[in-house]
């Protein structure tokens, strides 16, 4: 007994549309109560700004903080915010819990990133973290990432995957783009696509029975499955837009 082609097509389309949403709904919801942290632009620009922006992004992705960027603080306190010490800034912005300040020093061969983190609890303000790291200028991004994870007190997260590369891998081999993403759910999904592709190819190459699907129809199913695999590999590799927004 053969399943009509139009029903198989509807099933594959439904999987392509609803499976990403189902996996997203299964993820735990972020906590609603978060500490507020101000990340001031490091100086001198532009390398200092690049470093502070990198730290902002990592703190945002941790889903543990509401991050207020430097431009918002300047609006609140005026243009001379950068020269004010951490105690003064926390005193003028009582609704924030953490303040991150830093600067860069060095030459064309070595650069040092100095960073401090101050905490405000009620009327008490204390310096809770201070560190400096030195490296080559081309390693600035890595240094700033490491300092951000030291603030969080956790090891670096797995790097974000390239959506284009994930889609290309699935184009070359079914399921490979999901294997590339490395998460258990993606690996399981990639295994399903690979098994489905092998199964459809086997059925399409088997002797055709009268009244069954033709080789062209089996080929159409393979094409649809491949397109679904490529699109899902691409979209599953995109960063979550909710984790790249800067508050307020």
The full set of domain ranges for the chain reads 5-28+161-243, 35-152
Look up the CATH number of domain 35-152. 3.40.50.10070
Average pLDDT score over residue span 68-75: 80
* C-beta pairs of 212-221 under 8 Å, 24+ apart in sequence: 212/2, 213/2, 213/5, 217/5, 220/5, 221/5, 221/8, 221/9, 221/12
The pLDDT score that the predictor gives to residue 156 is 55
* Bridge partners for 132 per DSSP: 114
Residue 227: is its pLDDT beyond 90?
yes
The pLDDT score that the predictor gives to residue 244 is 39
Higher pLDDT, 82 or 96: 96
Average pLDDT score over residue span 215-240: 87
Q: Residues 179-211: pLDDT tens digits? A: 988 888 889 999 999 999 998 888 888 887 777
pLDDT-derived band at 1 (thresholds 50, 70, 90) equals very low
Higher pLDDT, 171 or 32: 171
The pLDDT score that the predictor gives to residue 104 is 93
Average pLDDT score over residue span 148-166: 76
pLDDT-derived band at 112 (thresholds 50, 70, 90) equals very high
Residue 86: is its pLDDT beyond 60?
yes
The pLDDT score that the predictor gives to residue 72 is 78
Instruction: Please tell me the distance from the alpha carbon of residue 67 to that of residue 78, in angstroms, as a whole number.
Output: 19
Beta strand spans in the chain (E): 35-39, 65-69, 98-106, 111-121, 124-135
CA 41 to chain centre: 22
Average pLDDT score over residue span 73-100: 80
Across the chain, mean pLDDT equals 80
The pLDDT score that the predictor gives to residue 248 is 43
Closest CA to 201 of 186, 221, 183, 227: 221
The pLDDT score that the predictor gives to residue 224 is 92
The pLDDT score that the predictor gives to residue 27 is 43
Closest CA to 170 of 156, 150, 190: 190
């Amino acid at each position: 007994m053969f399943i009509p082609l139009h029903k198989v097509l509807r099933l594959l389309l439904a999987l392509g549309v609803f499976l990403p949403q189902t996996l997203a709904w299964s993820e735990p919801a972020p906590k609603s109560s978060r500490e507020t942290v101000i990340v001031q632009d490091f100086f001198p620009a532009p390398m200092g700004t690049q470093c502070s922006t990198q730290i902002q992004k990592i703190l945002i992705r941790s889903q543990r903080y509401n991050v207020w960027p430097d431009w918002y603080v300047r609006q609140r306190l005026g243009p001379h915010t950068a020269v004010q010490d951490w105690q003064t800034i926390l005193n003028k912005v009582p609704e924030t819990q953490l303040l991150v300040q830093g600067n860069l020093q060095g030459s064309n061969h070595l650069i040092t990133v100095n960073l401090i983190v101050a905490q405000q609890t009620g009327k008490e303000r204390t310096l809770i973290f201070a560190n400096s790291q030195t490296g080559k200028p081309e390693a600035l991004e890595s240094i700033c990432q490491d300092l951000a994870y030291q603030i969080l007190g956790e090891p670096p997260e797995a790097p974000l995957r390239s959506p284009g590369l994930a889609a290309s891998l699935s184009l070359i081999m079914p399921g490979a783009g999901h294997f590339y993403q490395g998460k258990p759910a993606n690996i399981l999904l990639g295994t399903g696509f690979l098994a489905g592709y092998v199964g459809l190819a086997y059925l399409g190459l088997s002797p055709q029975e009268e009244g069954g699907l033709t080789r062209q129809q089996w080929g159409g199913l393979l094409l649809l499955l491949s397109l679904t695999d490529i699109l899902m590999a691409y979209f599953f590799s995109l960063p979550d837009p909710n984790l790249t927004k800067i508050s307020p």
